[in-house]
Amino acid sequence: MFQGQCIQLIPLTNGFVELCFDRQGESINKLDARAIHEFCESVRILSNAQDLRGVLMTSSKEVFIVGADITEFVETFKKSPGAIFEEILSKNDLFSAFEDLGVPTVAAINGFALGGGLEVALTCSLRVMSERAKVGLPEVKLGLIPGFGGTVRMARTVGPATAIEWICSGKPVDASSALAAGVVDEVVAPHALREHALAMLAAAARGEHDWAARQERKRRPVALATDALDSVVESARLKVKAQSPKHQPASAVYLDMMHAACREPRDIAIRLEVEAFSRVAKTQAASSLVQCFLNEQTIKKIAKAQAATAAQVRNGAVVGAGIMGGGIAYTSALNGVAVRMKDISDAQLNLGISEAKKQLNKLVKSGRKSEETAAAILKSIMPQLDDTGFDEVDVVIEAVVERLGVKHAVLTALERAVRSDAVIASNTSSLRIDDIAAPLARPENFVGMHFFNPVPVMPLVEVIRGSRTAPETVATAVGYCLAMGKTPIVVKDCPGFLVNRVLTAYMRGFLEIVSAGADFAEVDRVMEAFGWPMGPAYLEDVVGMDTGSHVSDVISAGYAERMPRIEHDALRLMVAHQRFGQKNGVGFYRYETDPNGKPRRAVADDTHKLLAQIQPHGTRRFGEDEIIDRLMIPLVLEAVRALEEGVVGTPAELDMALLLGIGFPAYLGGALKFADWLGAAELVVRADRLAALGPMYQPTERLRDMARAGATFYHS
C-alpha cells in the first residue's frame, strides 16, 4: 500500500492494515519532518481504503518511537509564536485525522514510547505494551510541554490527576505502572506482543471492545465536575511551585492550559495546547534545555571517539584514600574494575573504606543491590599501605594533598612501582599537569583526571592533557571514565583547567563586591534566586574556606594580570580566624546538626562585624541586576577566553562541564548559551559598563568582533 523511508503500510488479512514505523538506516524511530510527511500520506491512504476494518500500529525497531526530532526544534523555535502555532497545529490535525479514521486502531508498544511516541500511541483506540517497554512524556525536562495532543488525550484517557503527575514529572514509566494508570490496556511478554495486539484488534472489529466510545470520549470535554477539577489543579499548582526548577515555567503553563482545556472538546483543547506550547517554546528555559540535550548527545559522541584507542582497564589503583580516594575506588569497583587503594595511614584507609561502605549501604537499602553483590563489590576494593600488586594495574589515580612537593614524591615512587605502560593520573583540582609531571621519567603516560566531590554523585571528570601527554594515554583515561559511568571532558592543561578556572572568576566577582560593601547573605539570596543551587558564600562554606582560598590563590596566580591579588579578601580573613565553614561549624554562616545528622545553616551574628575589616568604605546596598552582572560577567568572559585558547574543543563541552561540574543554572544552558541568549553585543555593553572594576571585565577582541557581526557561539 505504501513504502516510505520511515513508515510502511502493510496489508494484512481480514481487512486489517499494519502501519509500521521503520526508519531506514537508523536504529530508532523519531517523528521528524520526513516521518510526519509520510504519516500524512499514510492517513490519506487509509482514509480512502476500501473495506478497511482496523489498523495495527507497530515499530520494526527495538524502540517504538523515541519522540520528536529534537535537532529540528532549534530551527522551529527561531520562528515567531504564531508561526510555531501554525506548524504544530497542522501536525496535530494529522493525528486527529488518524484518531477519526472510524475503525479500531491498536498500538503495539514494543520499547520506549516517549514524548511524541506516546502521543501517537494515544491516538489509537487501544494499546498493548511489552513488559520490557517504557512510556512517558518527558517534555518538561526540555522546558516544554507535550505538543502533539498529549495533554489533551492523557487527561481524557486516565483523568487529570494522573495526567498531571505524568506530565509534570516527565519520568518514564514501566509497563505495570502504565497498565495500572490506564494508559495501556494490556501488558504481555515481548515475544507475544504482536499476537496479542492483533487479537485485540480482531476482537475490537468484532465489537468485543467498545473502541468507538473510547475514541468519542477523547473528543469530548473531560467528564469531571468543575469543583473536582479545580481542586486537582490547585493542589498540583502548589506542588509545582515547591518542586519545579527555578525559571522553568513549563509545568505552570501546562497546568493553566490544562485547567481550561479540560472543559473544551478535543479540537479546541488541542488549539489551547498548541498555543501554550508555542509560548513555552520561546522561553529561555526551552531554548537552553533543548541545547543542553543536543550538547549531551554531542559530548557522548566526542568521548566515544576519544576513547576509540583506549587500552582496556582491568585493574585500577588509587593512591590517597579518605573521602575522595574512597569515592573514586568505590565508583571503579561498582562498575566492575577492581581497585587497590593505598595510603600511608590506616585511619585514611578506614575512612576510604567507610565511604565505600556508606555508598553501598545506600544501594542495598534502596533495593538496587543485594547484600551479596554489595559485599562482592566491597571485596574488590583492596586497602593497603604498600605497593603490593601495583605492577598489575593498568591505571593508577593519585589523590593526595594539593601540594606540588608531595605529589612529586608520590608520583616518582609510583612510576617505579607500576608497569612501564601503565597510565598514571592525578586527581589534582588546581595544580598544572605539566608542573606535576616535571620529575617523571614517562610524562607521556601521565594525565589529569579531575573528579568532582562527592565522586559517587558528580558525573563530570575533567581529563587534562599535558603538553607531553600521549594521545593513547588520554584515550585510556577517557575510556576508564566511561567505564565508571562518568562523563569525561578533555581539556588542555592550564591553571584551574576549565571548571575551576571559570568558577574562580565568578568567586572573585563575589569577593570584590563583598569588599565593596555588599552583604554576603544578600548576594547569596540574589544568586540563588537567579538559579544557582547555592550562593557563593554558602558554596565556600560547603567546600571549606581553607580549600577555597588555596585554590583561588593558585588559579589567580596563573592569570596574575587579569586576576591580581585581592587586597581585601573575605576568604583569607575567614581562614585567619579559623572559620573554615561546615567542616568546623562556622564560616560565613554557622552550622548546627539537624535531626537527620546534616548541617543546617543559620546566620552567624558576628560575620558582618568581622567582614567590616575588609570593607574599607563600609557597607552599601547593591541592586539585584548589579550583583548578578558583577558575578556572572567575569564568569562568562573567562569561559569565552577558555574557548578561544583551545582549553576545550567545543561550546558544547564547555557548557556541559559547567552544568555537570558546578551546578550552573540549567535554564541558562551554560556560559556560552547564556552569552548567546544575551547576545554578544549586550554582553559587551554590560562588561564595558563594569570596566572600571578591572581587566577581569574586559571582553576579548574576538568577542567584540562577534558583537559587531551579530555572531553566536552556537550556529545550529
* Mean pLDDT computed over 153-174: 97
Joined together, the cell numbers standing for residue 183 give: 494508559
Question: Would you say 552 and 507 are in contact if contact means Cβ atoms under 8 Å apart?
Answer: yes
- CB under 8 Å to 626, separation ≥6 — which residues? none
Residues 466, 123: Cα–Cα separation, whole Å: 56
* Mean pLDDT computed over 60-69: 96
Inform me whether the pLDDT recorded for 485 exceeds 70.
yes
DSSP-derived secondary structure for 164-233: HHHHHH---EEHHHHHHHTS-SEEE-GGGHHHHHHHHHHHHHTTSS-HHHHHHHHHSPP-S-HHHHHHHH
Residues 3, 18: Cα–Cα separation, whole Å: 12
How much is the pLDDT for 113?
98
Residues 463, 268: Cα–Cα separation, whole Å: 53
Query: Which amino acid belongs to residue 210?
Result: D
Inform me whether the pLDDT recorded for 669 exceeds 80.
yes
Residues 667, 530: Cα–Cα separation, whole Å: 10
Express each pLDDT in 601-649 by its tens digit.
998 889 999 999 999 999 999 999 999 999 999 999 999 999 999 999 9
How much is the pLDDT for 594?
86
Query: Which amino acid belongs to residue 603?
Result: V
Q: What angle do CA 299, 300, 306 make, to 5 degrees?
A: 85
Domains and their CATH numbers in the chain: 2-282 (3.90.226.10), 313-493 (3.40.50.720), 500-709 (1.10.1040.50)
Residues 362, 670: Cα–Cα separation, whole Å: 31
What kind and span of H or E run contains 297? helix 284-306
Residues 116, 30: Cα–Cα separation, whole Å: 8
Name the DSSP class of 455: T
Residues 247, 668: Cα–Cα separation, whole Å: 9
**pLDDT confidence bin for 493, thresholds 50/70/90:** very high
How much is the pLDDT for 598?
86
Name the DSSP class of 450: E
Query: Shortest CA distance to 236 belongs to which of 141, 169, 139, 157?
Result: 169
* Mean pLDDT computed over 132-138: 98
Residues 516, 359: Cα–Cα separation, whole Å: 43
**pLDDT confidence bin for 716, thresholds 50/70/90:** low
Express each pLDDT in 407-443 by its tens digit.
999 999 999 999 999 999 999 998 999 999 999 999 9
Inform me whether the pLDDT recorded for 159 exceeds 80.
yes
Q: What is the pTM of this model?
A: 0.94
Residues 676, 671: Cα–Cα separation, whole Å: 9
Task: Report the chain's mean pLDDT, rounded to a whole number.
Answer: 97
Inform me whether the pLDDT recorded for 455 exceeds 80.
yes
Query: Which amino acid belongs to residue 131?
Result: E
User: Would residue 652 be called left, alpha or beta, if left means φ above 0 and alpha means ψ between -120 and 50 degrees?
Assistant: alpha
Beta bridge partners of 20: 8, 58
Inform me whether the pLDDT recorded for 71 exceeds 70.
yes
- CB under 8 Å to 331, separation ≥6 — which residues? 455, 456, 484, 485, 486
Name the DSSP class of 612: G
DSSP-derived secondary structure for 298-331: HHHHHHHHHTTTPPP--EEEEES-HHHHHHHHHH
Residues 276, 252: Cα–Cα separation, whole Å: 11
Express each pLDDT in 2-16 by its tens digit.
999 999 999 999 999
Beta bridge partners of 425: 397, 447
Residues 630, 513: Cα–Cα separation, whole Å: 7
Residues 506, 504: Cα–Cα separation, whole Å: 5
Residues 491, 153: Cα–Cα separation, whole Å: 47
Q: At what angle do helices 250-261 and 160-169 cross, to 10 degrees?
A: 160
Provide the 3-class DSSP secondary structure of residue 489. strand
Q: Give buried/exposed letters for 269-295 (b at 16+ CB in 10 A, else e).
A: bbbbbbbbbbbbbebbbbbbbbbbbbb
Express each pLDDT in 261-309 by its tens digit.
999 999 999 999 999 999 999 999 999 999 999 999 999 999 999 999 9
Question: Would you say 519 and 525 are in contact if contact means Cβ atoms under 8 Å apart?
Answer: no
Question: Would you say 545 and 574 are in contact if contact means Cβ atoms under 8 Å apart?
Answer: yes
How much is the pLDDT for 603?
86
Pure H helices in 516-585 = 520-530, 536-543, 545-557, 570-576
Q: Is 568 a catalytic residue?
A: no
Express each pLDDT in 375-404 by its tens digit.
999 999 999 999 999 999 999 999 999 999
Q: CB count, 10 Å around CB of 620?
A: 10
Inform me whether the pLDDT recorded for 185 exceeds 80.
yes
Inform me whether the pLDDT recorded for 369 exceeds 80.
yes
Rounded alpha-carbon distances, angstroms, from residue 147 to 84, 120, 204, 233, 279: 11, 11, 29, 20, 11
Pure H helices in 25-174 = 33-48, 70-76, 81-99, 116-122, 150-158, 160-169
* Mean pLDDT computed over 43-62: 97
Catalytic residue, from 259, 408, 450, 715: name it: 450
